[in-house]
């Protein structure tokens, strides 16, 4: 982020975007779309975040496109956050961690999005494997979608919200690491100024992945109001807001540079 600017661009090959780019909603379209984004951006944006679902829907050939995108993005110097939002228990969680956080796996990524809503402790195999491999996790805390509130804002016995509990667990995992530990949180940029009421401490020693900018309505200007003093640890994330400028690689680069500039002004 220091070298390339604080921006994560999501690789989300929606059917509607494939159509806008003049591509078929098929494996050839997926491949062309993904290669265009990687070739245009992987040598300049800090982080690329492929959304696994858009590749999985094409079966094994879609996953093969995802594997190549991860490897080529990392080779070009971008960090890759695999957005697969995995969450399960025990040995199953361990198998997910092996898929994304074991350096010998074809989908090995710099970080993985995971869901703590089977209990934070269910993430232990992923926390351990990430630590061993020198990569990280982004744990869903306060998601950008309005439906998340019924779980994440719920108040537990003792008065702490569920989201605040997740962030406290993350603070414990990051303890002693400087300047930031490997375990970040996902906190939507769409949340407005509600965080104080939820009793959450965003200063938990990890990066804050902030989706919701662009298509979901948030802007760079919203970040200081949402994140307050923690804004310097925010990694803002945009998918459609950049991708809609394709298929021209130059236009994608321009859009990413514009967004990275706006983010740098607000999160600096």
By beta-carbon proximity to ligand OMP, the closer residue of 118 and 175 is 118
Query: Is 219 among the residues that bind ligand OMP (CB under 6 A)?
Result: no
CA–CA separation, 128 vs 112, rounded Å? 13
By beta-carbon proximity to ligand OMP, the closer residue of 10 and 125 is 10
Span near ligand OMP by CB under 6 A; candidates 126-134, 198-206, 218-226, 233-241: 233-241
Of the residues 211, 236, 246, 247, which one makes contact with ligand OMP according to CB under 6 A: 211
Query: Is 49 known to be catalytic?
Result: no
Q: Helices 124-133 and 90-101, interaxial angle, to 10°? A: 30
Of the residues 5, 6, 9, 12, which one makes contact with ligand OMP according to CB under 6 A: 12
205 contact partners, CB below 8 Å, separation of at least 6: 170, 171, 174, 175, 177, 180, 181, 183
By beta-carbon proximity to ligand OMP, the closer residue of 144 and 165 is 144
E strands present in 15-89? 47-50, 79-86
Query: Is 233 among the residues that bind ligand OMP (CB under 6 A)?
Result: no
Of the residues 116, 241, 246, 247, which one makes contact with ligand OMP according to CB under 6 A: 241
246 contact partners, CB below 8 Å, separation of at least 6: 17, 20, 21, 33, 36, 37, 40, 252
Instruction: For residue 68, count other CB atoms closer than 10 A to its CB.
Output: 14
Query: Is 136 among the residues that bind ligand OMP (CB under 6 A)?
Result: no
CA 106, distance to chain mean position in Å, is 19
Query: Is 238 among the residues that bind ligand OMP (CB under 6 A)?
Result: yes
CA–CA separation, 168 vs 144, rounded Å? 20
Minimum distance from CB of 145 to ligand OMP (Å)?
A: 6
Residues at the contact surface with ligand OMP, assessed by CB under 6 A: 10, 12, 51, 83, 85, 113, 143-144, 186, 188, 211-212, 214-216, 237-241
């Amino acid at each position: 982020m220091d070298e390339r600017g604080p921006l994560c661009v999501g690789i989300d090959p929606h059917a509607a975007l494939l159509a806008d780019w003049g591509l078929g909603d098929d494996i050839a379209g997926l491949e062309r779309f993904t290669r265009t984004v990687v070739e245009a951006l992987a040598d300049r944006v800090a982080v690329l975040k492929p959304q696994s679902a858009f590749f999985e829907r094409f079966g094994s050939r879609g996953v093969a496109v995802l594997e190549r995108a991860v490897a080529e993005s990392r080779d070009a110097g971008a960090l890759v956050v695999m957005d697969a939002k995995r969450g399960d228990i025990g040995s199953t969680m361990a198998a997910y961690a092996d898929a994304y956080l074991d350096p010998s796996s074809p989908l090995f990524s710099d970080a993985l999005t995971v869901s703590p809503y089977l209990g934070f402790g269910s993430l232990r195999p992923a926390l351990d494997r990430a630590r061993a491999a020198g990569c990280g996790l982004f744990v869903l805390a306060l998601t950008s979608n309005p439906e998340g509130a019924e779980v994440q804002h719920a108040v537990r016995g003792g008065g702490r919200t569920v989201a605040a509990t997740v962030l406290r667990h993350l603070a414990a995992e990051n303890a002693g690491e400087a300047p930031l530990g490997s375990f970040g949180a996902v906190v939507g940029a769409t949340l407005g100024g509600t965080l104080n009421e939820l009793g959450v401490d965003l200063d938990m020693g990890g990066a804050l992945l902030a989706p919701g900018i662009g298509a979901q309505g948030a802007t760079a200007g919203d970040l200081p109001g949402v994140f307050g003093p923690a804004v310097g640890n925010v990694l803002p994330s945009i998918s459609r807001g950049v991708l809609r400028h394709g298929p021209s690689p130059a236009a994608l680069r321009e859009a990413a540079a514009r967004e990275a500039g706006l983010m740098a002004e607000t999160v600096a």
